[in-house]
Amino acid sequence: MSAKVTTIPGQSLLAVDGVPTYLHGANYAWNNYAEFGEVATWQNPGANRVFNHQPKIETDFQQLAGQGLTAVRWFLFTDGRNGIQFDPTTKLPTGLTPGVLADMDTALAIARTHGIRVIFSVLDFMVMRKDSTQGTRAHPEILTASGQQAFLQNVLGPVLAHYAHEDSILAWEVMNEPEWVISEFLNSAAQFVTLPFQNFAAFTKSFANAVHQSTDALVTVGGADPRYISEWDKIDLGLDFCQVHCYYNPQIHDPGQDLFGKTAASYRVQHPLLIGEVPGNNDPHIPSINLGSWLNFAFGNGYAGLWPWALTVDGGPYTPYDSGSMLTFARQHPEVSNPAALQ
C-alpha cells in the first residue's frame, strides 16, 4: 500500500496518489473499547488487547473489505484508560503502557492485508468525564497546559516516531467530538471537565505540527455537530480536512444540526469535508433516512466520504450498520471502492 493520501488546494476530495478520490469507509470503531495496550488499572491488564483478539478482528476486516471499503476510523487511546501511563502524583502522562505499539502493528497489518487505511481517533471526549466508569477514572489533566505538553512528548511522540513512514495510516484524529468538552459549544459542564476553545485549539495546533513534522499522514478532528464546522476549518489549526458527525434530533428541530440535503460547498469550508459519522441504523429523521440514501447524498454533493457508525455491535442503537447498502454502493461505484475484495 504505497499510494499516498494528500490534499489538493481547492479540491473537495482527498487525493490518492494525486487523484481526487471519494473515500468509501466506515467506523470500525473497535473490537473492544480500550484495546490498544494494557489497561494498567485492570486485574487482567491485557484482556482487551488487539493482539489477543486477532482472529475476530481479521474476520471483521475481511467483512469490511468485502463491502469495498478502503478506509476505517478506529479509536486508539479512548477515554485514557488504555495505553497511557500516568504519574500517580501529578496525573500527567509519562509514556505508553506495555503492548501499545505491538497492538497497533497487529491492527495495521490486518488492515493492510485487506487494502484498508486507518484514521486513528487518538482521544475520545470521554477522557474529560467527571465520574468514573468500570472502575477507572477520568484523565482531564491531559488537556491542561502541562498535560498537553506531556501527552505530545511522552505519548504521541513515540507513536509518531514508530509510524513515521506508515502509509496505511490515513490520518491522526486529535479527538472524537471535542465540542462536548469545549465550554463555548455544547455546554456539557455538568458531565465533563470543560475548557475554552482557545485552549483546545492550541492543543490541536501542536498536535498537527507534531504529525506533520514526523509523518506524511493527515490530521483531522472528529467534529460532533454541523453547527461548528467553520471552527475546524480555521487555517491556523493545521488540520488537513474537516470532519463532521450528524445525528439530527427532530425533537430539537434545529436545522443547523442537520446536514442531509446540504452540499459540502454550502458550508464554504477551505478544506475537504468528510462526514465521519451518521447512523448506520435507526436514523432519527422523520421519516428515517436509510443508509443507502445517505451514501448517495454524500457522494453526489461534494463530500470527501460518508462513514456510518459502526460495524461493531456494541456501539449503541445505530449499530451494526446496513452492510447491504455499503456493498450496493461499492458495486455501483467501483472507482472508489476495493473492487478486488467485493463479496
8-26 pLDDT per residue, tens: 998 999 999 899 999 999 9
Q: Is 12 part of a structural domain of the chain?
A: no
Tally the domains of the chain: 1
Of 59-68, 223-232, 244-253, 285-294, least confident by mean pLDDT is 244-253
Q: What is the mean pLDDT of residues 54-79?
A: 97
What pLDDT, on a 0 to 100 scale, did the predictor assign at position 188? 80
Residue 311 makes CB contacts below 8 A (sequence gap 6+) with 26, 27, 28, 29, 60, 63, 64, 72, 319, 320, 321
Q: Is 17 part of a structural domain of the chain?
A: no
Please provide residue 314's backbone torsions phi and psi, each rounded to the nearest 5 degrees: -105, 20
Q: What is the mean pLDDT of residues 107-113?
A: 97
Residue 252 cell numbers, joined: 430539537
Of 256-265, 296-305, 311-320, least confident by mean pLDDT is 311-320
Q: What is the DSSP string of 167-226?
A: TTEEEEEEEE-GGGGBTTTT--TTTB--B-HHHHHHHHHHHHHHHHHH-S-EEEEEES-G
Of residues 207 and 255, the one with the higher pLDDT is 207
Residue 67 cell numbers, joined: 463491502
Three-class DSSP category at 51: helix
What pLDDT, on a 0 to 100 scale, did the predictor assign at position 135? 47
What pLDDT, on a 0 to 100 scale, did the predictor assign at position 136? 52
Q: Is 14 part of a structural domain of the chain?
A: no
Q: State the chain's mean pLDDT as an integer.
A: 93
Percent of the chain with pLDDT strictly greater than 90: 84
Write down the H helix ranges in the chain.
54-66, 100-113, 145-151, 157-162, 197-214, 229-232, 291-300, 323-332
Which residue is it, cell 453526489? 300
Q: Is 8 part of a structural domain of the chain?
A: no
Domain span at 172: 23-341
Q: Is 16 part of a structural domain of the chain?
A: no
What pLDDT, on a 0 to 100 scale, did the predictor assign at position 317? 92
Q: In this predicted model, what pLDDT tens digit does every residue of 148-200 receive, in sequence order?
A: 999 999 999 999 999 999 999 999 999 999 999 999 998 787 889 999 999 99
Asked if residues 93 and 86 have their Cβ atoms less than 8 Å apart, the reply is yes
Q: Is 139 part of a structural domain of the chain?
A: yes
Strands 273-277 and 242-245: parallel
Q: Is 290 part of a structural domain of the chain?
A: yes
Strands 71-75 and 93-96: unpaired
The pLDDT confidence band at residue 82, using thresholds 50, 70 and 90, is: very high
For residue 225, pLDDT over 50 is answered with: yes
Residue 76 cell numbers, joined: 486508539
The pTM of this model reads 0.96
Residue 143 sits in a domain whose CATH number is 3.20.20.80
Q: Is 2 part of a structural domain of the chain?
A: no
Q: How many CA atoms lie within 13 A of 108 on its CB side?
A: 21
